[in-house]
Amino acid sequence: MLEKAAQGIGPFNLELEGVGAFPNARAPRVIWAGIKKSSELEKLQKNVEERLSSIGFEPEDRPFTPHLTLCRIKSAEDGRALGKLLSEARPEANAAFAVSSFAFIKSVLKPFGAEYTPIREFALTAQNN
């Protein structure tokens, strides 16, 4: 289904835009760099969600918020301290990068943090196979 979701979408560029926190800056659990609105990325996300829902996966009920996770925070105390620092420093993330593929990745939470294992990569070629 992921291979089918990529069909018709060619390589594209993304731009980082700003730094923020989930769920909020007062008590962050995740620090992220935002990704500027991209019609190609939105199309890919929509295709993936539609394909996966067709085989029984529930669609996400939260709005799509494209971002790059910069770090995860384990303790509430560290979160408050980092949130304060973010509010004071107001860091920016301004960069652009090319996207020519995406990957299906297995994520396993372990005591030392998440372990990520790439399962398969899908090329963006704009060709309908």
| Beta carbons of 32 and 18 less than 8 angstroms apart | no
| Beta carbons of 10 and 112 less than 8 angstroms apart | no
Cβ atoms within 10 A of the Cβ of 21, count?
A: 21
Looking at residue 117, its pLDDT comes to 97
Looking at residue 111, its pLDDT comes to 86
Looking at residue 129, its pLDDT comes to 53
Please, what are the domains in the chain?
A: 2-123 (3.90.1140.10)
Round the CA-based radius of gyration of the chain to a whole number and report it: 17
- The token duo for 23 is 């769920």
Looking at residue 119, its pLDDT comes to 97
Provide the whole-model pTM. 0.83
Phi-psi region of 49 (alpha: psi -120 to 50; beta: other; left: phi over 0): alpha
Looking at residue 128, its pLDDT comes to 63
H-helix segments, 54-108 = 76-89
Looking at residue 109, its pLDDT comes to 86
| Beta carbons of 1 and 51 less than 8 angstroms apart | yes
The per-residue pLDDT string of the chain (129 residues; one tens digit each, 9 = 90 and over) reads 999 999 999 999 999 998 988 888 888 999 999 999 999 999 999 999 999 999 999 999 999 999 999 988 888 888 888 888 888 888 888 899 999 999 999 999 888 878 999 999 999 988 765
